[in-house]
Every structure is written in structure tokens, then in C-alpha cells.
A and B are shown apart, each in its own frame.
Chain A
Amino acid sequence: MNIVDLITIPLQYPFMVKAIVVSSVVGAVCALLSCFLILKGWSLLGDAISHAVLPGVVLAYIIGIPFSVGGFIFALLAVLLIGSIKTHTKIKEDAVMGIVFTTLFALGLILISRTVSSIDLMHVLFGYVLGISDVAAWYTIGVSAVVAAIILTFRRTLLLFCFDPTHMQSVGVSAKFIHYFLLVLLAVTITASLQTVGIILVIAMLITPGSTAFLLTKRFPVMLVIASVVSVVSSVVGAYASYYLDVSTGGAIVFFQGCVFLGAFAFSVIRSHRKKNTSVVSV
């Protein structure tokens, strides 16, 4: 089998085409968002939100509304809970997040165990992009495109918010508003990505590409490009790997992203080592 066949054979199956397209689109939007999240230090918050959507997904299944709607409601609930507990107590934010998301996640588990026809828990937790319906695929693509367009359009505002919210406030732009704006983008992205990589792994899509890019550049626009490319390539590689090796798509995508991160890490260590050596010599 030559390389062209390797690439084209899976594309004969509509479910594979769908899987590749959806994973790539989700990968791109998560990558864009990840650049802001890791700079803002919101990685753990992303993790918390993604776990907290579980009961929403299960309830949505029970009532018969789209998963993402239920997920989104619980994402906002988690954000509000975390925010209000933090402002009314002296408990550190990471502890508050831990309590809120594990409690909501546990509620989700309880609901799942009581749901008779039982949604496949594995699919909710780890994604099942190969089995995505047309409607869900279009929904995911649509939402991702809108979120990506919003992020790119307002990237300078979001960047200033991450870098220096006090300055933003001092030029008369509400940092609080942008704070919630970014949170909503995060919640929407997480719920839109659920079917691709699932609740557990979506956080990887929201941390790894941005972190990889951060290792490789000091320019924010370049960082956005690198993160997106890394993420989309990982999604495609992951989808093919799941076809040929018969492994979990979400698992393959996230694992490949982690490998790219390690590669970038090795590269950045070698590069800074070289720089140090040359500067010593040149002195």
C-alpha cells in the first residue's frame, strides 16, 4: 500500500471524513482558546468546567434536549458557584474549583447509574467522534467556527485582558465584562468539543497546543498559528490512527499532542542550551 492509498482509503467512509473534519475544527478552536487560557492561568478552571458539565449532559439525555445545551448550563453553574464561593470565603481558588467540579462530576455519575437505557458512559467521558451524527457534526462545526471567528476578531482585547486587566480597566473598558465573555467562550467550546474528545480529555485540547506554541515563540500572533497547526495536525493524525490501529480517536489525538509538546520541549531546551554556550564563547 502506498502513501496515497494510506491517506485516501479511510476517506471512502463518510464517518471517517466527518470524524476528520469535526476533530480538526474542534482542534483549531480549542488551540486558539488555549493560547489565552494558559497565559491567563485558567487551565485548572477549564478542567473544572469540563468535568462539571457531566450532569448537564446526562440530564439533557434524559429530557431529550441537545447534550451541549445541558452541558452549557452546568458549565455556567460551575463558574458561578466557583466565583461566589471564592468571593465569600477565604478558601483558595484551586480548592474551590476542586470541590465544585468533583461534586458536579459525582452528581453526573449518580445520574448515569440511575438512567435505565444508560448512555454509554465511555462515550461521554472519552468522546466518540466516529459515531457522531450529521446534526451533531454540523452543530459542532458551526459553533466552533463562530467561536473561532469571535476569538480572532477580538484577540487584541482578550490578550490585553490576560496580560493587564488593570490597564484595561484604566482605559475605560470593563475587565469584568471581558472576564465573563472569555468564560462563556470557554464553556461553549468545551460543550462543543465533548463529542470529539469527551469530558476527560477536552482539557488537553485546551492546554497542550497553547503550551507547545508558548515554548516555541515569543510572539503572540505566531503562537496562535503554531497552536492551531499543531492541534489540527494532531486531530488528523489521531483520526487516522484510530482507523488503522483501531484505538480511541480522542485518546490518539491527545496522545499525539502530548508527543508534539515533548518534542517542542526538547527543542526549546536544546535551543536555550545552545544560546547559553554561544554567549559564553562570544564574551
Chain B
Amino acid sequence: MYAIELHNVSVEYQDRMGLENASIQIPEGTFSGVIGMNGAGKSTLFKVIMGLVRPTSGSVLVDQKTPLQAQKEGVVAYVPQNELVDWDFPVSVYDVVMMGRFGLQNIFRTPRAEDHAQVMNALEKVGMKEYRDRQIGELSGGQKKRVFVARALAHGADILLLDEPFAGVDAKSEHALTELLLTLKQAGKTIILSTHELTSLSEYCDHVALIKKTVVAYGPTTEVFTRDNVTQTFDGAMHRIKFSA
């Protein structure tokens, strides 16, 4: 079964294309890396899956449902590339992670014991438990990123989308996060992650999507993460990367 299915999806921003005729079928329980140059359409792909950007043509299925339905059922969680939030806001790290539980709560959004447990669990996993009472702006860039990863984890969704979660994150935290994502994959979750870190990609991704306005190639890392494909996607040779083939 496929966690995500896109058929001939095109996205048109005011004057330029975000995606053109992109098709991809991401199997359940896989860990997919999404790579491509700046402006290739990686974030657009994620936003289409999350229903935040509507495709001008084509169809999107998330867990066999429309994106909106999938969100309502809490099937998918998302860590955006840039958090467009006001960092002076009077909310704590804990409050932000609790927002990950929002869709699962009753209409009054009163946190229950289960919600508190999941929030602490998520904070623990990203190593931000000691910071839980900090105001959200009193963190470093990488720590902020980890809080928003924790928010997506607290959601407990089966499909996890992470748009460049390693940007600005130190090596130790990056390692800890990939280990964590791998255990989630083991538990049957589908992980989709975009990154510019091509060197370490094959260590944790079992699938790779190469994006250049469209999906140039998608498949198991061993078959798709080749010098030819990467060269085509990135308009040039990549000398220092170890390729599968």
C-alpha cells in the first residue's frame, strides 16, 4: 500500500511553476529522502501533500484519502522548512509541542493525561525536555527546529514529513534525530524528509526522490541514487558522494 500517491501534479504560483507533472508513489513504512536544488520544488511537494497548496492539476492521495481528510484523521504530521511564527509569543516549548496534539483533542482542546504523556515523550526524544518551560524565543536556531520536530512527533501520526529538519542542527542532534526516525520507521511509520546533506543520505534513507520541477526519479536508494540521476538533478557532477551504482 502507498502512504502517498501523486499523479501528474502541477502547482502554479503567480508567475512560475512550483511543480510540473510530478508523480510519485511512496510505499508505507519506508524512509524516503527528498533531494533537489534550491527552488526545485521540494517544499512545494510537501505543501501539496499537506493540502497547504492546492495543485492546479493532478491528484494527491494521502493514505488513500484526500489531504484534508487525512489531516482531519491525524494521519500525517509535518515539520515546515521555515517556521513563520512570532518568536516573542508568550508560549513555552511545552505549549508548542502540545500544539501537535491539537487535532486529536476535543473542541475545547483541554489537554488530557495522554496528551501530557505524549508531549513529554516527544520532548525527551529530541532532547529538549530540560527546556520545556523556556519561552519559545529563548532558544538557539537548532533547538527551535528540534521543538518543531517534537511537535510533529507528539502528533503520533503514521506519516511524518520533515522539510530540511537538519538545517542549522548540530551533528550530534542530527545523528540523534536520524536514529529516532529510524526507530519510528521500524515501528511501521512512513518518513519523508528533504535534505541537502547528500553524503550521509544513503545511510538512513531506503528510498530517494530526486526533484527538479518534477520527480526525476524515485525508488530504492540502491537503484535510484546513482551518479547519473544526481548529476541530472543537480546540473553537474557530484564528486565526493559515494553512490550506490
Contact = CB atoms under 8 A, between A and B. Distances in A.
Interface of A: 39, 153-154, 156-157, 159-160, 162-164, 166-173, 214, 217-220, 223
Interface of B: 50-52, 68, 71-74, 77-78, 80, 83-86, 89-92, 95, 99, 102-103, 107-110, 135, 151, 155
Contacts of B84: 164, 166
A170 B71 contact: yes
A171 B71 CA distance: 5
B103 A163 contact: no
B90 A223 contact: yes
Contacts of B83: 164
Nearest to A169: B52
Which of A159, A162, A170, A217 counts the most B-chain CB atoms under 10 A from its CB? A170
B90 A218 contact: yes
A86 B83 CA distance: 24
Contacts, number: 65
Contact of A167 (B68, B72, B91, B99): B99
Task: Give the 10 A-B residue pairs with the shortest CB-CB distance, closest first.
Answer: A171-B103, A172-B71, A172-B72, A156-B109, A218-B135, A220-B90, A218-B90, A170-B50, A171-B102, A170-B78
A268 to B, nearest CB: 13
A205 to B, nearest CB: 20
Contacts of A163: 85-86, 89, 91, 99
A171 B155 CA distance: 9
Given A154-B108, A171-B155, A159 B91 contact: yes
A171 B86 contact: no
B86 A156 contact: no
A170 B99 contact: no
Contacts of A220: 90-91, 95
A172 B90 contact: no
Nearest to B110: A156
A173 B102 contact: yes
B90 A153 contact: no
Nearest to B72: A172
Contacts of B135: 218
B227 to A, nearest CB: 36
